[in-house]
Amino acid sequence: LVFALAGAIWLLTLGLFLKLFHRTFGFDDAHQPLFVFIAGSPFFLKNFMHTLGHFDIYGCALTIVLLLIPARSVLYVLIAALFSIVLILVHHIFVLMYVPAIAAIVVLRFYLMQGTTPRNIAVGLV
């Protein structure tokens, strides 16, 4: 059951990545080599296929979701915090693996674009 669930999440993550790549670059002829390079990389989803029981794929899926949703309000920071909490509850190693990546995504997508107001900083610290 663990491998069936992780396999389904792997397929979902693959779909999310395709959506993110299409939104960012598109699937035209100019970006096809980039897609083949990323998809053919041993560090892409093939790594997660060999470690399905380790639940690493959940962090990858949630970080891709954070890259796909708009970062227009402080709700984005709260969603990122919720994703971090869920990942830490799945396994404590995610504190070192995906929580810093989520923090970097939030800083780059929300705080650098929206600015640092006292309210935004307070929500981020909480």
CB atoms within 10 A of CB 55: 18
pLDDT of residue 17: 93
pTM of the model: 0.84
Q: What local confidence, expressed as pLDDT, does residue 79 receive?
A: 95
Domain ranges in the chain are: 1-54, 69-126
Rounded to an integer, the average pLDDT of 9-30 is: 92
Where does 69-126 have alpha helices with state H?
A: 75-90, 94-97, 99-106, 112-114, 118-125
Cβ-contact 106, 124 below 8 angstroms = yes
Asked if 94 contacts 87 with a C-beta cutoff of 8 angstroms, the reply is yes
